[in-house]
Amino acid sequence: MKCPYCDFDTSKVVDSRPIEEGNSIRRRRECENCKRRFTTYEKIEQVNVMVVKKDGAREFFDREKILKGIIRSCEKRPISIKQMENIVTDIEKEIVNMMQREISSEEIGNLVMDKLKDIDEVSYVRFASVYRQFKDVNSFLDELKNIIEEKSKK
């Protein structure tokens, strides 16, 4: 690994630790030339999944976009950032495990709604109202009735 300070090509690993639930490794390195220390991270390279938008446009899967949407829907709710990040990580794992090169934005939205429904109904309704673009109050009320019916079955 090249030293970021002196560009020397050789360094030794001083410390290694798994991070992100074992999905990454953090390494502390020391340059053999200038003796300065620096940190590197190793992560498994995953196949890029393309998201097919409603209009047919394609873009690379971006976990940050999902996280931003979840954060917005969970505003002023008793849900920690860690819980939100876990939702995104779970969704990302599900998508990768599908072994598909493309996934529709609709499928991703449904995955998000399924996770939010289990954690916080208010956040779920907020996300669904933006995602499903309810046409009127009646379609919004229909969704609320579905939630109430599901809750009464439990």
Nearest CA to 89 among 71, 107, 112?
Answer: 112
Q: Looking at residue 51, what is its pLDDT?
A: 97
Nearest CA to 33 among 59, 2, 61, 56?
Answer: 2
Cα separations in angstroms, 37 against 1, 17, 30: 12, 16, 4
pLDDT band at 99 (very low <50, low <70, confident <90, very high): confident
Contact predicate 86/112, CB 8 Å: no
Q: Which pTM value belongs to this model?
A: 0.66
Instruction: Report angle CA 103, 23, 105 to the nearest 5 degrees.
Output: 15
Nearest CA to 8 among 34, 28, 37, 27?
Answer: 34
pLDDT, tens only, 5-63: 999 999 999 999 998 777 789 999 999 999 999 999 998 776 689 999 999 999 999 99
Contact predicate 45/24, CB 8 Å: no
Q: Looking at residue 150, what is its pLDDT?
A: 81
pLDDT band at 148 (very low <50, low <70, confident <90, very high): confident
Amino acid present at 59: E
Pairwise CA distance, residues 74 & 67, whole Å:
10
Q: Looking at residue 67, what is its pLDDT?
A: 96
The structure tokens 């050789």 sit at 10
More confident residue, 40 or 137: 40
Strand partners, 67: none
Pairwise CA distance, residues 143 & 146, whole Å:
5
